[in-house]
Amino acid sequence: MQIDVSIGFFLLGVVAVLAGAKIEFPKSLYQALMLFLMIAIGLKGGVALAEHASWALLSQSIYILLFGLLLPFIAFPILHYIGLFERHDAASIAAHYGSVSVGTYAVAVAYLESKNIAYEAYIPLFVVLLEMPAIVVGIMLAKPSTPSMSADGEVSGFSQPVIKAPNIKQLVLKLSSSKKLLHEMFFNQGIVLMVGSLIIGFLAAEKTYSIAPLFFDLFNGVLALFLLEMGMVAASRLSDIKRAGSFILAFSVAMPLIGGFLGCGLGMLMGLSTGGVILIAVLGASASYIAVPAAMRVVLPQANHSLSISASLGITFPFNVILGIPVYTVITLWFMG
């Protein structure tokens, strides 16, 4: 029996925490691994973009942005009307599930490479594009009970609940008045590093290969270390999930499947290769645990952020890494023959 190395390290992290083993993983090392993965993904995407830049990318990017806007609208009613979550909690969790996880994307890339499935290397561009729309939709969905914010983004108190459809004009005004939120949206570490390295890769093109031994050759080794830490973090979230109950477990498994199926359909609609379709399915299935939590803390301070992180990191991330990616691959192969 052969297991995937990345999944092996992830499981090792889970088992270590469950067995009570004390593995000291420096926080700065985790940060460094995350930065490394973002830069490596961005560089790869930039080089591919330089080779395959075309107008078709523009229409594909619009599809991806619309996809990012759609996902929270699917998650929100499930959480609010079936799960009976408060509006702000449902909006916050929905925003997490509308955005993407770079870690899951990195695992999917390693999986495709191990299976020798070709994919469009410019997909990191879509990873960046999918980071933001969900945050905007999250704010829109939470609006009736969102505390009012001052010009510098500080929360000044709770507004009276207003039962009416969210006003786009008010939303734009609110977004533009909150510097802190805009900063989190456009200048969080994920966006800056991935867009930055994407541009560097695009401009440097073949010259990027001079740093390939560090960023491309060591990718799988760094990913294994990153997953060891993620396994430990996911296992440490298990007690929070137990407290949240079985509904959040069902939701955190159902939402990746819905996003994965929709992503698979979208990828085929965009005319991508098999590997490309699988990656879009993985992006649709993944939930953010870095960029969105930071933004939601600013814009929805009253939401239960621990619950969102526990669901995305404690259930959805392990689900996607262990079961989801192979399942989306099999489904895509069915549909694409």
Nearest distance from C-beta of residue 117 to other proteins, angstroms: 13
Using DSSP, state whether 263 is helix, strand or coil: helix
336 contributes a contact to other proteins by CB under 8 A: no
- Judged by CB, which is closer to other proteins: 81, or 209? 81
Task: Kindly give the residue spans of alpha helices, DSSP state H, lying in the chain.
Answer: 5-18, 27-52, 56-77, 87-98, 102-114, 124-131, 133-142, 168-177, 179-186, 189-204, 212-215, 219-236, 238-244, 246-269, 274-285, 291-299, 305-309, 317-319, 325-336
Residue 333 binds other proteins, judged by CB under 8 A: yes
Torsion sign across C-alpha atoms 59, 63, 68, 73 = positive
Binding test (CB under 8 A) with other proteins, winner from 74, 247, 273, 294: 247
If one counts every other C-beta atom within 10 angstroms of the C-beta of residue 29, the result is 13
For other proteins, the binding residue among 82, 173, 192, 269 (CB under 8 A) is 82
Assigned token pair, 179 = 């510097």
Residue (124 or 324) nearer to other proteins, CB: 324
Of 78, 90, 102, 309, which lies in the binding site for other proteins, with binding defined by CB under 8 A? Answer: 78
Tell me which of 156, 161, 246, 337 binds other proteins, using CB under 8 A.
Answer: 246
Do the Cβ atoms of 244 and 88 come closer than 8 Å?
no
Which pair of structure tokens corresponds to residue 33?
A: 């691994």
Q: How far is the CB of 151 from other proteins (least distance, A)?
A: 41
329 in contact with other proteins (CB under 8 A): yes
Give the count of residues interacting with other proteins (CB under 8 A). 23
CB of 292 to other proteins, least distance (A): 23
Shortest Cβ 216–other proteins spacing (Å): 27
* Residue 190 backbone class (left: φ over 0; alpha: ψ -120 to 50; beta: rest): alpha
Considering all CA atoms of the chain, what is the largest pairwise distance in Å, rounded to the nearest integer? Answer: 60
Under the criterion CB under 8 A, does residue 83 sit at the interface with other proteins?
Answer: yes
Residue 130 to residue 175: CA distance in whole angstroms: 18
At residue 273's C-alpha, the angle toward residues 206 and 252, to 5°, is 105
The tokens of 75 are what?
Answer: 């998650």
Please tell me whether residue 326 binds other proteins under the rule CB under 8 A.
yes
The residues with which 155 forms a beta bridge, in sequence order, are 149
x/- letters, 190..229, toward other proteins (CB under 8 A): ----------------------------------------
- Smallest separation (angstroms) from other proteins to the CB of 156: 35
Site map 251..290 versus other proteins, x via CB under 8 A? x-xx--x---------------------------------
- C-beta neighbour count of 239 within 10 angstroms: 11
Q: Which of 5, 69, 212, 249 binds other proteins (CB under 8 A)?
A: 249
Nearer Cβ to other proteins (112/135): 112
Nearest residue (CB) to other proteins, 301 versus 326 = 326
Query: In the complex, which residues of this chain contact other proteins (CB under 8 A)?
Result: 78, 81-84, 245-247, 249-251, 253-254, 257, 319, 322-323, 326-327, 329-331, 333
